[in-house]
C-alpha cells in the first residue's frame, strides 16, 4: 500500500510537471482572446481573415469559369480576397475587368506568379544574360501590377546549381534580388519569395525553408523583398509552423494554405489551421491567405465543404 508521503510527493511532482508544460506553451497561442463575436450557424458574414480562393475554386457552384462571377460569388460567401497564379497570362482586357470588380467590392488580390521556373538555375548564378532576363521580367511584372492594382508578385528563385557551393549561390540570389528591388520599390510592388518542399513535390529547388528565406530577405534589406509562407510546404519541410511564423514575421508578406497530407482544404489533414488563424488574427495580420489547394471531395459537395471548412477554422 502507498504511504501518505509517497502519495504527496507524486501529487507534487505531477503539479510541477503540469505547471512546466503550461509555461512551455508558446505565448503566441495565448495572445489576445478578444477575437470578437462569432457568427451564428448559417450566417455568411465576412471572414475574420482575408482567405483568398483561387479562380476556378467554385466553378461547379458558380456554373462557369468567369473570373468576375467568381469574385462576386466569393464576396457573397464572406471572402474578401482572391488570388490568381496565372494573372500575367490573362488578356489585358480581362486583367482590367478583374481589377475593376475587385475595386468595386473592396476586395484584395493576392500574389500573382511572376517567375517560377523550377528546372533552371537563374537567381543562384552570376550570369549577365540571366540577370537581364530577370530584370526584363520584373518590368513586365510591374506593368501587370499597375493594370490590376496588385501589391504582391510571387517568385521562386529556381533550381540549385549542382557544382557551385551553396553559400556562393546564396550570395548570388541576394545580389540578383537587389537588382529586382530597385525596380519594385519605386512601383510600390512587393516580391514574395516562396520556399517549396523538396521531399515530396519539388526536388532540386534552391529555396526550401522559412529560416533560409528569412536570411535572404534580411540580407537584401528592402521593403520590396519579402516571403510567402506556404504552410503546406513548410509542414513537410520543417514543421514548427507557429514558432517559425513568429520568428520570421517581419519578412512575411503573404501566406499560402493547404493541409497535409494531400494538399486539400483545412480540416482534411494534420495541420491545426484554427490555431494558426487565431494566432495570425491576434498578431493583427491583414494580408492575404491564398487557398492554394485542392478539394477533398468532388463537385459541388467538395466546394461546399471548402467553404464550411474555412467557417469552422475561422470560428476561434
- In this structure, the number of other CB atoms found within 10 A of the CB of residue 154 comes to 25
The domain total for the chain is 1
Please report how the helices 241-248 and 273-283 are oriented relative to each other, as an axis angle in degrees rounded to 10. Answer: 20
Q: What's the pLDDT score for residue 1?
A: 43
- And the C-alpha cell for 166? 551553396
Domain with residue 27: its CATH number is 3.20.20.150
> Which residues of the chain carry a pLDDT beneath 50?
1-37, 39-41
With the C-alpha atoms ordered 288, 149, 192, 31, is the resulting torsion angle positive or negative?
negative
Q: How many CA atoms lie within 13 A of 47 on its CB side?
A: 31
Give me the residue label for grid cell 496588385: 150
Work out the percent of the chain whose per-residue pLDDT is above 90.
Answer: 86
Q: What's the pLDDT score for residue 43?
A: 57
Give the separation between CA 284 and CA 282, rounded to whole angstroms: 5
- pLDDT tens string 284-300: 999 999 999 999 999 99
Are 154 and 114 contacting, i.e. CB atoms less than 8 angstroms apart? Answer: yes
Q: What's the pLDDT score for residue 36?
A: 41
- pLDDT tens string 147-172: 999 999 999 999 999 999 999 999 99
Q: What's the pLDDT score for residue 38?
A: 52
Predicted TM-score (pTM) of the model is 0.86
Find the domain containing 241 and state its range: 4-313
Amino acid at each position: 500500500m502507498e504511504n501518505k508521503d509517497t502519495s504527496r510527493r507524486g501529487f507534487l511532482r505531477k503539479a510541477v510537471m503540469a505547471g512546466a508544460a503550461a509555461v512551455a506553451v508558446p505565448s503566441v497561442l495565448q495572445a489576445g482572446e478578444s477575437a470578437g463575436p462569432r457568427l451564428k450557424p448559417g450566417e455568411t458574414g465576412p471572414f475574420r481573415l482575408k482567405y483568398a480562393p483561387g479562380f476556378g475554386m467554385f466553378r461547379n457552384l458558380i456554373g462557369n469559369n468567369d473570373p468576375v462571377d467568381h469574385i462576386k460569388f466569393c464576396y457573397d460567401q464572406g471572402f474578401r480576397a482572391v488570388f490568381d497564379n496565372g494573372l500575367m497570362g490573362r488578356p489585358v482586357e480581362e486583367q482590367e475587368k478583374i481589377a475593376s470588380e475587385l475595386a468595386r467590392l473592396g476586395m484584395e488580390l493576392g500574389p500573382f506568379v511572376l517567375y517560377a521556373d523550377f528546372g533552371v538555375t537563374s537567381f543562384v548564378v552570376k550570369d549577365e544574360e540571366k540577370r537581364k532576363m530577370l530584370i526584363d521580367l520584373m518590368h513586365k511584372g510591374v506593368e501587370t501590377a499597375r493594370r490590376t492594382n496588385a501589391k504582391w508578385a510571387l517568385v521562386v528563385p529556381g533550381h540549385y546549381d549542382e557544382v557551385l557551393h551553396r553559400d556562393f549561390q546564396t550570395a548570388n540570389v541576394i545580389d540578383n534580388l537587389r537588382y529586382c528591388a530597385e525596380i519594385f520599390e519605386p512601383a510600390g510592388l512587393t516580391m514574395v519569395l516562396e520556399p517549396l518542399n523538396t521531399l515530396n513535390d519539388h526536388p532540386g529547388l534552391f529555396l526550401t525553408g522559412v529560416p533560409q528565406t528569412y536570411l535572404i530577405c534580411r540580407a537584401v534589406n528592402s521593403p520590396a523583398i519579402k516571403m510567402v509562407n506556404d504552410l503546406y510546404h513548410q509542414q513537410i519541410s520543417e514543421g514548427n509552423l507557429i514558432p517559425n511564423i513568429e520568428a520570421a514575421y517581419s519578412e512575411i508578406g503573404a501566406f499560402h494554405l493547404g493541409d497535409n497530407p494531400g494538399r486539400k482544404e483545412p480540416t482534411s489533414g494534420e495541420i491545426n489551421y484554427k490555431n494558426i488563424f487565431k494566432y495570425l488574427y491576434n498578431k493583427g495580420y491583414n494580408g492575404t491567405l491564398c487557398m492554394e489547394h485542392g478539394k477533398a471531395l468532388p463537385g459541388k459537395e467538395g466546394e461546399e465543404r471548402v467553404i464550411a471548412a474555412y467557417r469552422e477554422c475561422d470560428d476561434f
